[in-house]
Chain A
Amino acid sequence: MTVTVVGAGLAGAVATLALAEAGAQVVQIAGPPGSTALGSGAFDVAAVSPGVPWLAARDALRGGPLSVLDRLALLLREAPSHPYARLFGGDAAAAASAVRAGVERLSRWLAPHGAALHGGFDGSALLACSPGTLRRVDFASAGPAGGDLGACGEIGLLDAPGLAGYDARFTARGLAAELAALGLAQTRVTVVPVAWPDGLLDEQPARVAARLDAPEAGEALARALRGLGGAGRVLLAPPVLGIARCAALVAQLREAAGGAVAELLSFPPHALAGYRFERALRAAVAASGARVVAGRVRALRVPSASADCELELEAPGSALQPLAARAVVLATGRFASGGLCAASGEAREPLLDLPLHDAEGRRIDGIPPHRSVRKGYATWQPLYTAGVRVDARMRPLAPDGAPAFERVFCAGELIGGFDPARERTGLGVALLTGLAAAASAAEAGR
């Protein structure tokens, strides 16, 4: 008997990898890329400041970034509906060690595919975004990871004329202002002209990145950057530093430049780091021994509390295909990934019609979406905190608060109670709930 994981974003991948490692027979149903593939390259595991008002205020008092332990403690105290609170109660130390172990495990899975995470808990890195803003980040993927500006003396923005969505002068101007606001005005920000190899630049960053996967192109760029870096100097590039071999390319460029080279954190439509991350996850799953089926689940039936789950699969170009599973991990995401749906005029969880709750505990399924939104862009939007409620074993809860099923588990953003956009803990939640759901599913699948 098998465990089926529905979803190929971070939560689904982590659950699949953990189940495969535990020796379970695991089938992953992999749909098209969802929100994991839209990530900026930052990997936040605890709410980061600035980003949540009450954390920003604490930061101001401290005059520096809070430790991850402090931030987790605040999160557990101030956001009781957050999935971390479900996992760790109020125990920040347990949360911190789970995060540490989880990131290490994920990095181990991803390292062979060139996508290990970099960073740590000893003070988060200060990374630059392509619009010229700054973010504190716990961990980051290979492209942006080397771009910590916290201690650098000089920043050089690599000029890339004609590239869509990137203007080195603009980014430089923005960064200078943000650094000054943080009391780091002594950091020099300059635009560095680059003699880009012939035929490499294009309007589309993704096309440049694909060209840089060819080793000759990488070498040519390394030659162009030779000697441009230096000690205390960080060279920042737009999101073009390769797709499959980003980590190797960054290392090569760093060596040629003679100092740090990193990508800016970038957002859709040019979120290349997220795309790389999801590619690496898919490669890791393919290498794990798990069976991967491309398609999507059209129906999921759980006949009785103890019976097997029955899935109906829709794969491109083939008829509906039945699939039985001893246990199921649902890692289907929220609206953008199809885990929640609003097509019928109401917000719903389409597979099991699970009840959906916002962060304040109100039911929002069966309600037209526009009724669960509020005025003001930055205010809490109940609709975008909504998802499935789970118990500590990641079993979805029925309306009465009891587990709805014995062998169905949830992971990732499908779990509600938090706002991934505001709190930026989406990937951390995906990682930790993916691992927790896998552990529960492995037990149930026996």
Chain B
Amino acid sequence: MTRVLRTQVLVIGGGINGTGAARDLALRGVSCVLVEKRELGSGTTWASSGMIHGGLRYLQKDPEVTRHSCVDSGAIQRIARHLIFRIPFLMPVFPEDPIGPEIVEIGLEMYDQFVPLKNGRPHTRLSRAQALALEPALSPRIDCAFTLDEWGIDAARLCALNALDAAEHGAQVFTHTQATELLREPSGGRVIGARVRDRVRGDELTIEAALVLNAAGPWGPEVAELASEKLKLRPGKGVHLVFERRVSNLAIYARGVDGRDMFTFPHEQNSMAGTTDDDYYGDLDKIETREDEVAYVLEAMERSIPRIREHRVCHAIQGVRPTLYGFGAYEDELSRDYRIIDHGAEGAAAGLWTITGGKLAAYRLMAEDVADRLCAALGVDAKSRTAELALPGGEAALDAGALARRFEVGLAAALRLGFRHGARAARVLEAAPRATRTVCACEPVLEAELRHAARAEGLRKLTDCPLRMRLGNGACQGASCAGFAAQVLADELDWDGARAVREVAALAAARWHDVAPALAGAQVAQMELHRAVFFGMIGALEALP
């Protein structure tokens, strides 16, 4: 007999749409179970630019996307103040650009109308000399440059916090748990739940739900198919390159050889550059960055930042957007809007709903929208509270200096802990006051944070750590922290030695997967060392995937 859980809404998918919806529902008092087949935010969300931006790009074709992105950006800043950071942008204009500074400025003036919604500053026009003084890495060939204001966020952490808040309001969250079957009513065919499998333990669980929300992003069609429903998307693959440190002070616009807008931007301890957008028809569980994608991004960046190739790319991030289907349009021109589908009204599977498409910046608004629809179907009339109630840690400001002094940890470590945990950072250290050793020096991550993630946040695998706390994302790609991190998790999660070795091996393999396609320059030497460390540490080659 498999265990049975009963709930009002089962959410399938732990990306930003799924966790956002689960939080919205839980805050309204709706009981909710969320299953995610890997780690929270490990799909499209992780592969996003991590920007709560207004979507200047969409202004021409999708002003509505720009508007609700900007509105919601303001809301996210209120509820997750610890998790966001200002990203000032520089948009250089080159002599050969088809659109000259005057036209660019008209666009930016339009955008300025939306900017106050997200607490941004209006644009400014900089002369060539001013722009170069501000950002010496910029190409001296520019005519002039414009500034604009956007906001960045740790998107995977945002998922984790949404899930955590949902859990604190009664939801149950299962990671590494995959929906394998949708349960139907014998007669009418109504979807009444799902059978799910825990991919770590291997056991099964039945979840009976009044409604099932398919928030599986690009995997959405696979989930819909479990109820023989067709869901047509036009998945678009996006690749970012991650530099091991910040290559510029400001985010810088760049243009691809095909004219597409891209940018490089400081993101937490790294810089990122991207993104690509190409139709994707491959295996969603085996997304690989290709050589031509790396070349395309670097070529675009080189025009704005001529010495970009001298900086070290430590890895690539790849993902697939669940873009709404459109025929006859280029990838870039497809709408970034979202859709909510009631498969009872639009198909033959009452009880099943799908949310798909959309932008990270508007996730909260989308969650509210879908929760409104689900609540209407359930006969619940509670209103969304996600715009007012802070996410865990966002309740108050944190004094990182006081935290560092109190627990005798470095200020950098206290600041990073505060970034991810906000006002709750002290709790993390209070729960393990002696766990102040630095596990990952790149980030840096303290042992206490790792222990907290295992004890209080449902962290299950070492390979979850790069998403939860950015461990293993830096230059060394886990070579100097994997062993130590596995020790800590083994202690918390009661792993035996063999399990710990398998976890370390899995992390090594996962990092290699992301590094190899962009392997160049100094990272070649770094990975030589990486191999020496992991092969030495693991001992048994058989454990390595």
Q: A56-B542, A342-B520, A377-B544 are in contact. Are A335 and B497 (CB under 8 A)?
A: no
Map CB proximity to B onto A404-446 as digits: 1 under 8 Å, 0 otherwise: 0000000000000000111010000000000000000000000
A368 CB contacts on chain B under 8 angstroms: 291, 520
New contact pairs (7) apart from A50-B542, A164-B484, CB-CB < 8 Å: A50-B539, A167-B487, A173-B496, A265-B536, A268-B529, A383-B519, A421-B531
Instruction: Verify B532–A421 contact, CB threshold 8 A.
Output: yes
Instruction: Verify A335–B538 contact, CB threshold 8 A.
Output: no
Q: How far is the CA of A126 from the CA of B417 in the complex (A)?
A: 41
Asked if B480 is at the interface of the complex by the 8 Å CB criterion, the answer is: yes
Instruction: Verify A335–B544 contact, CB threshold 8 A.
Output: no
Q: Which residue of A lies closest to B495 (CB)?
A: A173
Q: Which of B479, B517, B532 contacts A370 (CB 8 A)?
A: B517
Stretch in B188-196, B358-366, B504-512 with 4+ CB within 8 Å of A: B504-512
B544 CB contacts on chain A under 8 angstroms: 377-378
Q: Which of B438, B501, B522 contacts A133 (CB 8 A)?
A: B501
B516 CB contacts on chain A under 8 angstroms: 370, 373, 375
B488 CB contacts on chain A under 8 angstroms: 167
Instruction: Verify B497–A176 contact, CB threshold 8 A.
Output: yes
Instruction: Verify A335–B504 contact, CB threshold 8 A.
Output: no
A181 CB contacts on chain B under 8 angstroms: 498
**8 smallest A-B Cβ distances: which pairs?**
A174-B497, A133-B539, A378-B544, A335-B525, A177-B497, A421-B531, A170-B487, A377-B509
Asked if B521 is at the interface of the complex by the 8 Å CB criterion, the answer is: yes
| Interface size range on A against B | 35 or more
Q: How far is the CA of A92 from the CA of B264 in the complex (A)?
A: 56
Least CB distance from B301 to A in Å reads 15
Instruction: Verify A269–B532 contact, CB threshold 8 A.
Output: no
Instruction: Verify B531–A131 contact, CB threshold 8 A.
Output: no
The interface of chain B, by Cβ under 8 A from chain A, is 288, 291, 294, 309, 434, 437-438, 441, 479-480, 483-484, 486-488, 490-491, 496-498, 500-501, 504-505, 508-509, 512-513, 516-522, 524-529, 531-542, 544-545
Asked if A9 is at the interface of the complex by the 8 Å CB criterion, the answer is: no
**Would you give 13 A-B contacts (Cβ < 8 Å), ordered by A?**
A53-B541, A132-B501, A133-B537, A164-B437, A165-B483, A170-B491, A175-B497, A269-B480, A335-B524, A345-B309, A369-B519, A421-B532, A421-B536
Least CB distance from A69 to B in Å reads 22
* B483, B504, B516, B533: residue with the most chain A Cβ atoms closer than 10 Å: B483
Q: Which of A56, A130, A268, A375 contacts B541 (CB 8 A)?
A: A56
Q: Which of A40, A167, A334, A377 contacts B534 (CB 8 A)?
A: A377
Q: How far is the CA of A176 from the CA of B498 in the complex (A)?
A: 10
Q: How far is the CA of A175 from the CA of B486 in the complex (A)?
A: 15
* B490, B522, B538, B539: residue with the most chain A Cβ atoms closer than 10 Å: B539
Q: Which residue of B lies closest to A178 (CB)?
A: B497
Least CB distance from B404 to A in Å reads 15
Asked if A336 is at the interface of the complex by the 8 Å CB criterion, the answer is: yes
Instruction: Verify B496–A177 contact, CB threshold 8 A.
Output: yes
Q: How far is the CA of A420 from the CA of B536 in the complex (A)?
A: 10
Q: How far is the CA of A58 from the CA of B261 in the complex (A)?
A: 57
Instruction: Verify A370–B536 contact, CB threshold 8 A.
Output: no
Q: A164-B437, A268-B479 are in contact. Are A170 and B490 (CB under 8 A)?
A: yes
B497 CB contacts on chain A under 8 angstroms: 132-133, 170, 173-178
Asked if A347 is at the interface of the complex by the 8 Å CB criterion, the answer is: yes
Q: How far is the CA of A330 from the CA of B486 in the complex (A)?
A: 39
Q: Which of B508, B521, B526, B531 contacts A384 (CB 8 A)?
A: B531
A381 CB contacts on chain B under 8 angstroms: 531
Instruction: Verify A164–B438 contact, CB threshold 8 A.
Output: yes
A165 CB contacts on chain B under 8 angstroms: 483-484, 487
Least CB distance from B65 to A in Å reads 35
Asked if A111 is at the interface of the complex by the 8 Å CB criterion, the answer is: no
The interface of chain A, by Cβ under 8 A from chain B, is 35, 38, 40, 42, 50-53, 56, 129-135, 161-167, 169-171, 173-178, 181, 203, 265, 267-269, 334-336, 342-343, 345, 347, 368-371, 373, 375-378, 381, 383-384, 420-422, 424
Q: Which of B484, B490, B524 contacts A173 (CB 8 A)?
A: B490
Q: Is the interface of B mostly helix, strand, loop or mixed?
A: helix
Instruction: Verify B521–A377 contact, CB threshold 8 A.
Output: no
Q: Which residue of B lies closest to A265 (CB)?
A: B536
B483 CB contacts on chain A under 8 angstroms: 130-131, 165, 267
Q: A370-B517, A373-B519, A377-B508 are in contact. Are A268 and B533 (CB under 8 A)?
A: yes
Least CB distance from B372 to A in Å reads 45
A135 CB contacts on chain B under 8 angstroms: 536, 539
B505 CB contacts on chain A under 8 angstroms: 377
Q: How far is the CA of A203 from the CA of B483 in the complex (A)?
A: 16
Q: A131-B483, A131-B501, A177-B496 are in contact. Are A377 and B512 (CB under 8 A)?
A: yes
Q: Which of B291, B434, B437, B491 contacts A169 (CB 8 A)?
A: B491
Instruction: Verify B532–A38 contact, CB threshold 8 A.
Output: yes
Q: Which residue of B lies closest to A134 (CB)?
A: B539
Q: How far is the CA of A164 from the CA of B479 in the complex (A)?
A: 14
Q: A267-B536, A268-B479, A342-B521 are in contact. Are A167 and B491 (CB under 8 A)?
A: yes
Least CB distance from A71 to B in Å reads 15
B524 CB contacts on chain A under 8 angstroms: 335, 342, 347, 369, 383
Q: How far is the CA of A342 from the CA of B488 in the complex (A)?
A: 36
Instruction: Verify B501–A336 contact, CB threshold 8 A.
Output: no
A347 CB contacts on chain B under 8 angstroms: 524
Q: How far is the CA of A52 from the CA of B490 in the complex (A)?
A: 27
Instruction: Verify B500–A170 contact, CB threshold 8 A.
Output: yes
Instruction: Verify B438–A203 contact, CB threshold 8 A.
Output: yes
A163 CB contacts on chain B under 8 angstroms: 437
Instruction: Verify A131–B537 contact, CB threshold 8 A.
Output: yes
Q: How far is the CA of A131 from the CA of B541 in the complex (A)?
A: 15
Q: How far is the CA of A56 from the CA of B356 in the complex (A)?
A: 49
A420 CB contacts on chain B under 8 angstroms: 532
B309 CB contacts on chain A under 8 angstroms: 345
Q: How far is the CA of A171 from the CA of B534 in the complex (A)?
A: 16
Q: Which of B294, B491, B529, B545 contacts A336 (CB 8 A)?
A: B529
Q: A133-B497, A178-B497, A343-B521 are in contact. Are A40 and B536 (CB under 8 A)?
A: yes
B519 CB contacts on chain A under 8 angstroms: 369-370, 373, 383
Least CB distance from A272 to B in Å reads 14
A424 CB contacts on chain B under 8 angstroms: 535-536
A335 CB contacts on chain B under 8 angstroms: 524-525, 528
A132 CB contacts on chain B under 8 angstroms: 497, 500-501
A52 CB contacts on chain B under 8 angstroms: 541
Q: How far is the CA of A347 from the CA of B288 in the complex (A)?
A: 23
Q: How far is the CA of A89 from the CA of B190 in the complex (A)?
A: 73
Q: A369-B524, A370-B291, A373-B519 are in contact. Are A51 and B541 (CB under 8 A)?
A: yes
Q: How far is the CA of A325 from the CA of B483 in the complex (A)?
A: 45
B434 CB contacts on chain A under 8 angstroms: 161-162
